[in-house]
Amino acid sequence: MEKYIIKLIGSYLNVLSYFSGDYAANKALHLFSTPRKGKLNSQNEKFLNSAKKENLNYEGLNIATYHWKGDKATILLVHGWESNSARWKNKIKRFIPQGFNIIAIDAPAHGASGSKLFNALLYSEFINIVAQKYQPEVVIGHSVGGMASIFFQQKYQLKSIKKMVLLGAPSEFETILKSYIKLLGYNKKIEKHLNKIILKRFGAVPGDFSTSKYSKSIETKGLIIHDVKDAVIPYSDAKLINKNLRNSMLISTKGLGHSLNDSSVTKNILEFIQK
């Protein structure tokens, strides 16, 4: 049923594109940038309530943060698409006994944060607001949260950050966009206008937004963890980022999928942070 609805939407916008390519492409980009709103279950809500909550602000948009205080290094946690800060629960429960000072952030249009739309550039600005306040030594980003973390550090080069951990992070935005175009079955007209709108709105073509390219100017030590059978973000992206993030190492997992929500991954992260 879901596949039928997806194809129906794609067909509808394809028809619209013959009347107005810009209108159809704007609708397609809006759909691409709108995450589904998930609800917290009672256990995750209780867990987030154990943190000190604080709302920060970026250009009138609310940034929801969660703070578990500790006296050791500050860790900033940056979740991925259609997720929220509760996704870090298992890892935070391992970090707290170690005494780390932990900050988690909800992405734009996710969790309790503001904005109706999401993109990695806006996310990177949210990250900057939080990072400037808390001056973290470590940033851990999952999926597009990892991409946004690299975009942030490449732009701002925050000196407090000594280590970055990228979990299942994508490399090329262009690849993500093309996968979306293929999934919806958009025609070449929509694809052409999408590229034009992105250039006008963000000042660059999709191919310019690249985690691996942005990594070249980052000296921060990096740990990249990626599953070889990741069905969401290909393993080849991890190798590309590892090649360009000069002070990085790559750990390959098998059978942990895209979430990488496993105790072995937490162990790898702790070993990297505590070196």
**pTM reported for the whole predicted model:** 0.95
User: 16: which residues sit within 8 A by CB, 6+ positions away?
Assistant: 23, 24, 27
Q: Report long-range pairs for 182-185 (Cβ below 8 Å, ≥24 apart).
A: 183/6, 183/10, 184/6, 184/7, 184/9, 184/10, 184/13, 184/28, 184/31, 185/7, 185/10, 185/11, 185/14
Looking only at the bridges linking them, the beta strands covering 52-58 and 163-167 are unpaired
Cα separations (Å) of 274 from 26, 78, 138, 139, 268? Answer: 46, 20, 11, 14, 10
User: 11: which residues sit within 8 A by CB, 6+ positions away?
Assistant: 185
Block residue for tokens 């946690």: 77
Q: For the chain, what percent of residues have pLDDT higher than 90?
A: 91
For residue 66, the SS3 value is: strand
Lookup: tokens for 157:
């080069």
Lookup: tokens for 16:
């619209």
Looking at domain 43-171+210-274, what is its CATH homologous superfamily? Alpha/Beta hydrolase fold, catalytic domain (3.40.50.1820)
| Residue 193, phi then psi, degrees to nearest 5 | -70, -30
Block residue for tokens 């932990």: 102
Q: Are 144 and 81 in contact (CB under 8 A)?
A: yes
pLDDT recorded at residue 16 = 85
Question: CA 182: distance to chain centroid?
Answer: 21
Residue-wise pLDDT tens digits, 251-263: 999 999 999 999 9
Q: Are 126 and 58 in contact (CB under 8 A)?
A: yes
Residue-wise pLDDT tens digits, 229-247: 999 999 999 999 999 999 9
Domain boundaries, the chain: 1-32+173-208, 43-171+210-274
Residue-wise pLDDT tens digits, 136-149: 999 999 999 999 99
User: 162: which residues sit within 8 A by CB, 6+ positions away?
Assistant: 137, 138, 220, 221
- Indicate the residue type of 203: G
Strand order of the β-sheet with 221-227 is 52-58, 61-68, 101-105, 74-78, 138-142, 163-167, 221-227, 248-253
DSSP per position, 75-100:
EEEE--TT--GGGGHHHHHHHGGGT-
Length, in residues, of the chain? 275
Lookup: tokens for 186:
């958009």
Residue-wise pLDDT tens digits, 24-71: 999 999 999 999 877 788 999 999 999 999 999 999 999 999 999 999
- Indicate the residue type of 164: M
Q: For the chain, what percent of residues have pLDDT higher than 70?
A: 99
Question: What's the mean per-residue pLDDT of the chain?
Answer: 95
Residue-wise pLDDT tens digits, 64-109: 999 999 999 999 999 999 999 999 999 999 999 999 999 999 999 9
Say yes or no to pLDDT of 1 above 70.
no
